Amino acid sequence: MAHYAIIGQGSIGRRHRDNLTALGREVRVLSWRAKGPGDLDALLEGALGAVIATATDIRLELVEACAVRNIPVYIEKPLAFRLADLDALLQAARPIADRSIAGYMMRYHPALLAQIEAPVAQPYGFALEIGHDVRQWRANWRFGDSYAARAEGGGVLLDLCHELDMAHVLFPDARLMSVESIGHADFPGVDFATRIMLGAEGGPVGSVAMDYLSPASLRRMALRGRDQVVDLDLLSLSETRSTGGDPVTRSWTFDRNDMFLDIMRDFIALAEGGAVSDNPVLPRLDRVEGSARLIAAAWEARRFNGNIEGGFA
């Protein structure tokens, strides 16, 4: 039976495995760390598509292996953390890019899609923020043993780059202005808190902030326009809009995994020649270069401003 290949057996690889299975597809999984000679060839033989859920810095060779076999790919975010590496990856993926997807699953969040459907007019400011104490992420998990603790490909900017992608979706003309980070003496080159300033000529100007430190989980967005202000809580799934009078509030009900299922359905449709969803910002690989370049440029532009204290090993 034709199958989907998943390369990587971390938590995200397991999620994709479960979702593909739930969507009725045959799945085969390869641990890149434990692979042996010929394992990749065997995995990709007859594959309809491949999900690349490995560490970021080894994805180029996997994209090349899939492209030469005409196998579309679902590449987890970020695509790359250096601009030169991004250029190489996009070049390698060119033959399959219009049938492949980048893993920007937050583009399926109903609150973000609501802003695209009814954008704030004449925007002058915005702020996106996400924070969570990384030590509380998962049971039996240690930060020091994870990809996140690596100077090459780790850190909060890359880990939580969905916020930067969403900012680019909403304000594609906003350019990178500055990137300020706080590190940790035990993990040189790893950012634990980062604030990115973006701005477009004539507005808007705004910030994207992410951290591994907040004792209370938060994920929110503030959009400011001449005639309307919007505040969103992406965890409680609520939105408040105000034009100066009584604010109007609405909320959504959905499960976080719904976004992963929706993006996987679109990948399956691309891979099998079916009809994709009507998502206006579907992250097809040949349409996400601007966002991917912003993320890589921001990572390269980080300026560290001292260290946070505390045990994170």
pTM, two decimal places: 0.96
pLDDT bucket at 313, cuts 50 / 70 / 90: low
68-96 residue pLDDT tens: 999 999 999 999 999 999 999 999 999 99
Inter-residue contact 276 to 270 (CB < 8 Å): yes
Q: What is the pLDDT of residue 138?
A: 65
Could you give the 3-state DSSP secondary structure of residue 88?
Answer: helix
Distance between the two ends of the chain, CA-based, in angstroms? 44
Could you give the 3-state DSSP secondary structure of residue 98?
Answer: helix
> Is 153 within the bounds of a domain?
no
> Is 13 within the bounds of a domain?
yes
pLDDT bucket at 37, cuts 50 / 70 / 90: confident
Q: What is the pLDDT of residue 146?
A: 85
258-294 residue pLDDT tens: 999 999 999 999 999 999 999 999 999 999 999 999 9
100-142 residue pLDDT tens: 999 999 999 999 999 999 999 999 999 999 999 888 876 677 8
The residues pairing with 210 across neighbouring beta strands, listed in sequence order, are 130, 194
Total tally of structural domains belonging to the chain: 1
> Is 249 within the bounds of a domain?
no
Domain with 27, as residue range(s), is 3-105+259-284
> Is 218 within the bounds of a domain?
no
The CA distance from 183 to 303, in Å, is 10
> Is 298 within the bounds of a domain?
no
The CA distance from 133 to 129, in Å, is 14
> Is 19 within the bounds of a domain?
yes
> Is 26 within the bounds of a domain?
yes
Residue 113: partners with Cβ closer than 8 Å, 6 or more residues away? 107, 279, 280, 281
> Is 12 within the bounds of a domain?
yes
The CATH number of the domain where 43 resides is what?
3.40.50.720
Inter-residue contact 125 to 205 (CB < 8 Å): yes
